[in-house]
Structure 1
Amino acid sequence: MWIPLLMMAVAVSLEPFRIGMTVLAINRPRPALQLLAFLAGGFVMGTTVGVVVLFVLRPALGSAHFTLPRVQIVVGLVLLVNAALVAAGLLSRSKTTSGGLTDRIPASISGRARRLLNGGSLWTAGVAGLGIALPSIDYVAALALIVASGATAATQFGALLLFNVVAFALVEIPLLCYLVAPDRTRSMLAALYDWLRAQGRRGVAVLLAVVGCALVGVGFAGL
């Protein structure tokens, strides 16, 4: 469970939208607090959804058909489809910056949206974190993998926390780096975001495909 789970978390962490929001937060007033609010919102949403699935809906998922090999095969196939969509550009993983966000907003409300995005409200950063951690295909697949592992409740909760820590690594690391070297952190993060928008789609697609193939193979071997 652990290696596929970590690789899935790395793929999630490389979403251009997630990094784009980090770039936006670090260029707003009070950057450290903006990043912290964004990170807190993401953790609250991601952990809450995970706890509900693992410990509230868990009995409903514990049927005889919900075995680890079968879940591995299904999750692997889902990741392979996801990888194909990402590679083809049909699932662009939400490219955005502050300008990119507001460019797609109707003109009647774009001025207000720009002021909101470029303002200093910590609530905006927190809500953005909540929104970015809403359950995605990757996250649901990761939760299914954790549930099907059959590990103890404590281990499953630890796996959930670890997934979220890795998934938000490119928010956590810039936050720490900003406290030491703010200007260099801004420039390096912007460069990373530009690279991911231009080239990162292929890398994410390959990573998803590798994890998908591994899960399908392991799943069939365990039947």
Structure 2
Amino acid sequence: MILSSIKGILFDKDGTLVDFQATWFAIGDLLALQAAGGDRARADALMEAAGYDFGKKCFKADSVFAAGTNADIVALWYPDAAAEDRRKMTIGFDQFTAEEGARQSVPLPGSQDAIARLHRLGFRLGVATNDSTGGAEKTLLALGVAQMFDAAYGYDAVANPKPAPDAIYAFSDLTGLKPSEIAMVGDNRHDMEMARAGGVGLAIAVLSGTGTRETLAPMADVVLDSIADLPGFLAARNVA
């Protein structure tokens, strides 16, 4: 791991830039109620199947809702639907979550300042998320940081979403950086698996989302509390 070679940073969105729990429970619950035809008990069961722990009031690490795509959620909640119906429902999920996710997005403490500092230091910045591309772009606008990012890659912007490394290669092609010059930052194992598969120079896990130190540390080069610590981490090692 040669930290001085890092010139670009690719961020996960939910749990890394945005408070996942605060932003997404109400949105997911509304979609679950719709899928359950208004049946509260059935909606709760769907939320549990997607990874929500009602006892702890949070989404579980690496669950479908925490790490999957809208297509994954549709497939889970509508297992008997025909392929074309699922495709149409996924488009509807993408549109709804893009609007509501941006409108209700809660930035993690210190994330906007950290992004601004990293941008000033000259790092090329991107987002790789299993949300839709439209959702990612709208959220960056809502957070007031869109102008600092070169690109946002949702699951629908690449042939294969996380944990496949497609977004890393797309960001590399766009910026002219080698994967070894890119750091991947995320809160889920999918993020770390993508980092390893894509050959990035630095895999950074953050504990601000659904992942835990136990689930993330085995695949990460470093584990930070949140991206608020990232500029200081890099500066302390003579990168910034």
TM over 0.5: same fold? no
Higher strand share goes to which structure? Answer: 2
More helix by share: 1
Between the two structures, name the one with larger relative contact order (CA 8 Å, sep ≥ 6): 1
